[in-house]
Amino acid sequence: MAGSRFTVVGGGSWGTAFAAVLAGNGHEVVLAMRDADRAREMATSRENGRYLPGFRIPAGVEPVALEPAAVLADADVLVLALPSRAFVDVCRQLAPHLPGSTVALSLTKGLEPDSGRRLSTVAADVLGCGLERVAVLSGPNHAEEIVRGTPAATVVASHSMPLAERLQELVATPRLRVYANGDVIGVELCAAAKNVIALATGVSDGLGFGDNAKAALITRGLAEMTRLGLAFGADPRTFAGLAGLGDLVATCCSRHSRNRRAGELLAEGVAPADVEGRIGMVAEGLVTAPALQRVAAERGLELPLTERVCAVLDGEPAATAVSVLMSREPIAEF
């Protein structure tokens, strides 16, 4: 189903790669960026030199400065590919200009840092469009591989299944399978929490541990994520699916993963405040971990891995955090 008009807000690696996927399907794509200089530079060079060096941005993608009225006027779909820290502010700028028929699709994997709210609810409230016009997309989708065209799969979720299915048709390609899911809560909590578990596995890597330790952390991490989801009314099957297990594995095991890398740097003694500077990209887990711990605590929920990640972010040595985890009493597996 070609020929829709998409406005992708956010010129990071995933925003750029997703814009290219859409253009490949014959859609008109505006790639709107907060940094007008970078937008101009990308429009000329046809390359996102900072986040996807070497990838030629296809002709169907138009990089522009983020001028809300101009970029939203004709948009059928607004795609939000922003860091969680910028999400609510940009939504506020966009809100007055959102046409009544435009739907919003969030690609952001995190929570609103101050409130701990899921970003689909932030989008629905701040954009004033209601949850029925909002969807989220999440899965094991490293941008570097998507632009290479190797096979991948992802999940689009909305409280409105017709919207999820419409976006499924618009986004899917022969190399990117898209599954529709009605469990927005589950998909968003997976997307947020998996970055925190990836920090933990990065710490394990940084301490020189191996694949056995990482596999155990991933297993306990998915169990922790699933308990979190159940407490918030999510469908546990989502956590066993692509947006849960799939993205968790991709994030914890891949050399492309920034959150895994961030954990490695923490284990090496890099100060939390310096980690993103060293990586050169946002590592959402650093912001998500404390937000997640807060919302879990409000419900009396214990998240042992998330708590240790927060402790490391507050200065606990990585080796101590691992000792605490390893010394929990084992009796039966369940």
**Is residue 194 annotated as a catalytic residue, yes or no?**
yes
Mask for 146-165, x = binds a second copy (CB under 8 A): x-x-xxxx-x----------
With beta carbons less than 8 A apart as the criterion, state whether 30 and 7 touch. Answer: yes
Q: Which residue in the set 65, 95, 223, 301 belongs to the binding site for a second copy (CB under 8 A)?
A: 223
Number of residues that bind a second copy (CB under 8 A): 57
For the segment 265-294, give every residue that binds a second copy (CB under 8 A): none
Structure letter (DSSP) for residue 327? T
Distance CA 159, CA 181 (A): 9
Q: Is 332 in the site for a second copy (CB under 8 A)?
A: yes
CB of 270 to a second copy, least distance (A): 22
Mask for 129-148, x = binds a second copy (CB under 8 A): ----------xxxx-xxx-x
Of 27, 133, 166, 194, which one is the catalytic site residue? 194
Residue with tokens 């998500």: 288
Bridge partners (DSSP) listed for residue 78: 7, 104
Nearer residue to a second copy within complex by CB, 112 or 264: 264
Q: Which residue in the set 1, 240, 297, 319 belongs to the binding site for a second copy (CB under 8 A)?
A: 240
Stretch that binds a second copy, among 53-61, 62-70, 241-249, 278-286 (CB under 8 A): 241-249
- Those residues whose C-beta lies under 8 Å from the C-beta of residue 126, and which sit 6 or more positions away, are 88, 91, 92, 95
- Those residues whose C-beta lies under 8 Å from the C-beta of residue 233, and which sit 6 or more positions away, are 185
Distance CA 84, CA 306 (A): 18
For the segment 305-324, give every residue that binds a second copy (CB under 8 A): 322
SS3 readout for 4-67: CEEEEECCCHHHHHHHHHHHHCCCEEEEEECCHHHHHHHHHHCECCCCCCCCECCCCEEEEECC
With beta carbons less than 8 A apart as the criterion, state whether 189 and 157 touch. Answer: no
Q: Is 173 in the site for a second copy (CB under 8 A)?
A: no
Residues in touch with a second copy (CB under 8 A): 139-142, 144-146, 148, 150-153, 155, 168, 172, 174, 177-181, 204, 208-216, 218-219, 222-223, 226, 237-238, 240-242, 245-247, 249-250, 253-256, 322, 326, 330-334
Which residues are marked as active site? 194
